C-alpha cells in the first residue's frame, strides 16, 4: 500500500523542484489535464470497489484522457471557442458521479460491517 | 506466486500513475503561484499605468490652458492688426489730404476740365488818342480771375504761370508781371473747374465779359476737356 503513496510524494517533490517554465496561457491545459487525471483515478477506484477493475483500461484511460483534455483545450483556444468548458463539464460531472458511487459503496460496506 | 506478482505489477502501475498525478498537481500549483506573483506585478504595473494616465490628464489640462492663452494672444494680435489697419487708413487719408493741399498750393502738376479765357488788346483806333482805352490792364485780368475763383475754379494760370494764394499781378505798361515773370498780351487765363459754371459766370449779362468788351478788349472763351497746369517752378 505504501508504494503508490510514495509515488505520489515523489511526484509532488519532482513537480515542486522542476524549474521548467511554461507560458501562462498553457496552464489552462495543465488544469484540464489534472481534472482528467483525477476523473480517471476516481473511476479506477470505483471500478476496483465494484470489482470490475481492469488495469489496461485504467492506465490507457488515464493517459488518453489527459491528452484528449489538453488537446481539446488547445483546439478550443485556436478556434476561439471555449471548448475546454466541455471537458471541465464532462469530467466534473463524472467526477461527482464516481465519488457518489464510491461513497455509496463504502457506506453499504460500513453498514454491513456494523451489522456483523 | 503468480497472483503475488500480478499484485506487485498492479502496485507499480498505480505508483506510476500516482507519480504522474502528483507531478502534475505540484507543477500546476507552482505555475499558478507564478501567475499569482505575476498578477501582483501587473498590479504595480496598473498603478504605474494609473499614475501615467493622471500625468497625461494633467498634461492635457495644461495643454488646454496653454491653448486658451494662445487664443487670447491671437485675439490681441488681431486687435493690434486692426488698430494698425485703422492707423494706416488714417495715414492714407492724411496722405490724400496732403496731396490735395499740394495741388491747391501749386506744388504739383494739376489736370482737369475747365475754361480758357483769352484777353487781347483792342484794335488800334486812330481817333482815340489815349492808348490805355484799348489795352488790357491788370484790373481786367483781376476781374476775370476773381470771377473765376468766385465761380469755383480750383486752379488758375496766366499764360501758363500758376497762381497761388500769394501771387501778385502788376501792370508794367504793355506787359503784365505775374510773380516776377513778365507776360505780353494776349493773356491766356486757364482755369480748372466746372466749365459750364465758369463760362456762364463769365457770360452773365452785365458781367465780366460785357464790361471787358465795353473796354474795347477782345475777349474769347473756350471750354476745354483737359487743361494741364504745370507747377510753380520758382519765384523771382
- Which residues in chain B are contacts of A4 at CB distance < 8 A? 11, 14-15, 17-18
Does B16 contact A7 at a Cβ distance shorter than 8 Å? yes
User: Which of the residues A2, A6, A7 would you substitute to probe the B interface, choosing the one with the greatest number of B C-beta atoms within 10 Å?
Assistant: A7
Measure the CA dihedral B112/B115/B119/B120, to 10°.
Answer: 90
pLDDT score recorded for residue A4:
74
DSSP lists the bridge partners of residue B120 as: B218
Residue in A closest to B38 by C-alpha: A24
CA-wise closest residue to A41 among A65, A69, A71, A25: A65
d(CA B224, CA A103): 136
**Structural domain contains residue A62:** yes
For A14, the closest chain B residue by CA position comes to B23
pTM above 0.95, yes or no: no
Q: How many domains does chain A have?
A: 1
Higher-confidence residue: B128 or A32?
Answer: A32
Rg (CA), chain A: 17
| Cell 468788351, residue located | B213
- Given a cut of 70, whether residue A113 has pLDDT beyond it is yes
Within-domain flag for A9 = no
Grid cell digits, residue B73: 494672444
Instruction: Calculate mean pLDDT across residues A88-101.
Output: 89
Question: Which of B14, B24, B29 faces A37 most closely, judged by CB atoms?
Answer: B24
**Average pLDDT over every residue of A67-94:** 82
- Is A111 contained in some domain? yes
d(CA B41, CA B138): 115
0.90 surpassed by complex ipTM: no
Closest residue of chain A to B15, computed from CA coordinates: A4
What pLDDT score does A1 carry? Answer: 63
The verdict on A55 touching B (C-beta cutoff 8 Å) is yes
Query: Which chain A residues contact residue B42 at CB under 8 A?
Result: none
- From the candidate CATH numbers 3.10.20.30, 3.40.440.10, 3.40.50.1000, 3.30.70.1880, the one assigned to the domain spanning B112-226: 3.30.70.1880
Range of the domain at A64: 24-115
State residue B236's pLDDT score: 46
Q: Which residues of chain B have pLDDT under 70?
A: 1-7, 34-42, 128, 131, 233-236
pLDDT at residue A64 is higher than 80: yes
Decide if A17 is inside a domain.
no
Amino acid at each position: 500500500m505504501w508504494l503508490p503513496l510514495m509515488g505520489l510524494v515523489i511526484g509532488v517533490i519532482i513537480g515542486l523542484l522542476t524549474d521548467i517554465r511554461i507560458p501562462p496561457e498553457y496552464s489552462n491545459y495543465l488544469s484540464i489535464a489534472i481534472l482528467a487525471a483525477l476523473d480517471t483515478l476516481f473511476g479506477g477506484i470505483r471500478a476496483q470497489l465494484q470489482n470490475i477493475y481492469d488495469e489496461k483500461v485504467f492506465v490507457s484511460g488515464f493517459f488518453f484522457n489527459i491528452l484528449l483534455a489538453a488537446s481539446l483545450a488547445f483546439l478550443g483556444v485556436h478556434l476561439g471557442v471555449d471548448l475546454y468548458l466541455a471537458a471541465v463539464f464532462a469530467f466534473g460531472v463524472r467526477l461527482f458521479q464516481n465519488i457518489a458511487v464510491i461513497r455509496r459503496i463504502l457506506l453499504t460496506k460500513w453498514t454491513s460491517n456494523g451489522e456483523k | 506466486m503468480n497472483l503475488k506478482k500480478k499484485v506487485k505489477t498492479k502496485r507499480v502501475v498505480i505508483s506510476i500513475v500516482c507519480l504522474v498525478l502528483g507531478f502534475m498537481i505540484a507543477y500546476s500549483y507552482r505555475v499558478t503561484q507564478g501567475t499569482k506573483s505575476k498578477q501582483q506585478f501587473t498590479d504595480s504595473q496598473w498603478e504605474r499605468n494609473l499614475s501615467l494616465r493622471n500625468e497625461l490628464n494633467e498634461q492635457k489640462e495644461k495643454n488646454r490652458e496653454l491653448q486658451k492663452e494662445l487664443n487670447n494672444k491671437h485675439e490681441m494680435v488681431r486687435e493690434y492688426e486692426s488698430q494698425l489697419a485703422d492707423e494706416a487708413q488714417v495715414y492714407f487719408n492724411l496722405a490724400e489730404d496732403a496731396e490735395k493741399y499740394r495741388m491747391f498750393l501749386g506744388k504739383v502738376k494739376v489736370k482737369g476740365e475747365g475754361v480758357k479765357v483769352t484777353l487781347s488788346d483792342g484794335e488800334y483806333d486812330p481817333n482815340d488818342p489815349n492808348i490805355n482805352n484799348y489795352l488790357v490792364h491788370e484790373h481786367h485780368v483781376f476781374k476775370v480771375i476773381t470771377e473765376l475763383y468766385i465761380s469755383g475754379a480750383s486752379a488758375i494760370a496766366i499764360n501758363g504761370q500758376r497762381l497761388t494764394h500769394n501771387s501778385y499781378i502788376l501792370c508794367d505798361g504793355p506787359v503784365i508781371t505775374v510773380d516776377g515773370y513778365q507776360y505780353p498780351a494776349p493773356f491766356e487765363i486757364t482755369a480748372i473747374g466746372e466749365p459750364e459754371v465758369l463760362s456762364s459766370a463769365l457770360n452773365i449779362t452785365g458781367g465780366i465779359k460785357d464790361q471787358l468788351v465795353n473796354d474795347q478788349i477782345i475777349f474769347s472763351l473756350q471750354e476745354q476737356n483737359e487743361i494741364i497746369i504745370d507747377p510753380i517752378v520758382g519765384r523771382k
